[in-house]
């Protein structure tokens, strides 16, 4: 593969922040939409847009559930998403070192 | 590279099209900085082991010291039961309140930090939390049995302390093993060592050993955790690895 083919799904500031946040949780952990929104300091609409893209790429799954009577959503990085993030991080590190991954 | 993202970094390129949603480009260093910043943000929202260690350090120091000072007559008159100098009744109350206070603090602090997180960590945390509760409940019943079988005041006081510390030490070690947290593991080992020394020190010195070495152990843990955080903050690294949590 030739040099800088960074994953376009992740290589956008907002989505990188989303994925980095999800990857910082342990494997198998999911975070509620409001808490994720709070951690990222993004608007609900903006976050939803990016989550949809990540979901389309199968990098995340969104679990829709109910807490009492209120609907609640939980977001989790899939193993595919975690792998993509690790590959992306390795590519950035390699770029910085001036070598190809 | 443009996309339909919206976040704009400070000082974005001046020649970027003024469209509704230009995706700012960034270089590798900036990308890694973003990752490190988000990781640090997530870590900062996790339970703070320093606060939990501090709460338990204070609880043990105050609680056990009250028991020691009253049992030796340095604070009020010693109460003699079965030929053994016992702590004053109010010292037991101070001890109980200290422990319950630290327990409530730990539960509230951890629960608040874990709100909105589900999955593997949460279910482990819940089971681990219940292990503490059920372990102590079982221990209390067993101690009741020992007393009923005729164990005297001195044996009961020593056994209660030893059993409680053994349970605490083992649970810290188990937590440390699960979370791969050497500090937590080391504190567990230390508590068991201190409790063993405390039994042989005999009453009322048991209480002094627990206050100084036991309570002190938590303060050392707090300082070590603080140094560890400072190191990993200055290294700016650490975006790998699972969450670090600490139990009661």
Q: Where are the domains of chain B?
A: 48-114+122-235
Nearest-Cα distance to chain A for B2, in Å, is: 8
Dump pLDDT digits (tens) for B115-126: 999 999 889 989
CA nearest B39: which of A18, A24, A37, A17? A24
Taking an 8 Å cut-off on Cβ atoms, the answer to whether A24 and B239 are in contact is: yes
Q: CATH: 1.20.1250.20, 3.40.50.1820, 1.10.10.10, 3.40.50.880. Which one for A13-94?
A: 1.10.10.10
Per-residue confidence (pLDDT) for residue A5, from 0 to 100: 77
Per-residue confidence (pLDDT) for residue B8, from 0 to 100: 37
- Tell me the whole-structure pTM to 2 decimals: 0.78
Per-residue confidence (pLDDT) for residue B245, from 0 to 100: 40
Which DSSP symbol is given to B110?
A: H
Asked if A89 and B35 touch (Cβ cutoff 8 Å), the reply is yes
* Contacting residues for A98 by C-beta, under 8 A, at least 6 apart: none
Substitution target from B40, B42, B111 for chain A, most A beta carbons within 10 A: B42
Q: Binning pLDDT at 50, 70 and 90, where does residue A100 land? A: low
Using the predicted structure, report yes or no on whether residue B2 has a pLDDT greater than 70. no
Dump pLDDT digits (tens) for B6-22: 333 433 344 433 444 45
Of B5, B27, B117, the CB nearest to A25: B117
CA distances from A45 to A34, A53, A54, B21, B154 (A): 12, 13, 14, 14, 66
**H helices within B11-88, ranges in order?**
28-44, 49-71
Report the chain B residue with the minimal C-alpha distance to residue A85: B35
- Counting beta carbons within 10 angstroms of the beta carbon of residue B66, is it exposed (0 to 12), middle (13 to 18) or buried (19 or more)? buried
């Amino acid at each position: 593969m030739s040099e800088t083919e960074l994953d376009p799904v992740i290589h956008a500031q907002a989505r990188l922040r989303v994925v980095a946040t999800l990857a910082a949780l342990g494997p198998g952990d999911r975070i509620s939409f409001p808490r994720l929104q709070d951690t990222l300091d993004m608007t609900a609409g903006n976050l939803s847009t990016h989550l949809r893209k990540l979901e389309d790429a199968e990098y995340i799954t969104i679990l829709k559930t109910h807490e009492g009577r209120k609907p609640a959503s939980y977001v989790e990085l899939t193993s595919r998403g975690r792998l993509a993030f690790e590959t992306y991080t390795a590519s950035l590190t390699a770029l910085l070192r001036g070598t190809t991954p | 590279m443009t996309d339909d993202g919206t976040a704009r970094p400070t000082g974005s390129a001046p020649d970027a099209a003024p469209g509704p949603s230009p995706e700012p480009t960034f270089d590798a260093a900036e990308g890694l900085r973003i990752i490190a910043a988000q990781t640090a943000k997530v870590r900062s929202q996790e339970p703070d082991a320093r606060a939990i260690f501090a709460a338990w350090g204070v609880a043990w120091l105050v609680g056990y010291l009250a028991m020691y000072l009253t049992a030796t007559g340095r604070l009020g008159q010693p109460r003699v039961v079965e030929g053994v100098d016992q702590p004053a009744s109010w010292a037991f109350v101070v001890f109980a309140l200290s422990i319950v206070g630290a327990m409530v603090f730990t539960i509230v602090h951890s629960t608040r930090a874990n709100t909105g997180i589900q999955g593997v960590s949460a279910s482990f945390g819940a089971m681990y939390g219940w292990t503490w509760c059920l372990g102590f409940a079982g221990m209390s019943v067993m101690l009741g049995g020992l007393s009923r079988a005729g164990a005297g005041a001195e044996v009961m006081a020593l056994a209660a302390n030893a059993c409680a510390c053994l349970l605490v030490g083992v649970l810290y070690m188990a937590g440390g093993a699960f979370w791969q947290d050497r500090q937590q593991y080391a504190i567990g080992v230390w508590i068991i060592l201190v409790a063993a020394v405390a039994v042989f020190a005999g009453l009322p010195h048991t209480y002094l050993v627990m206050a100084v070495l036991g309570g002190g152990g938590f303060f050392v843990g707090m300082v070590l955790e603080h140094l560890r955080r400072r190191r990993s903050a200055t290294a700016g690294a650490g975006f790998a690895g699972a969450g670090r949590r600490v139990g009661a």
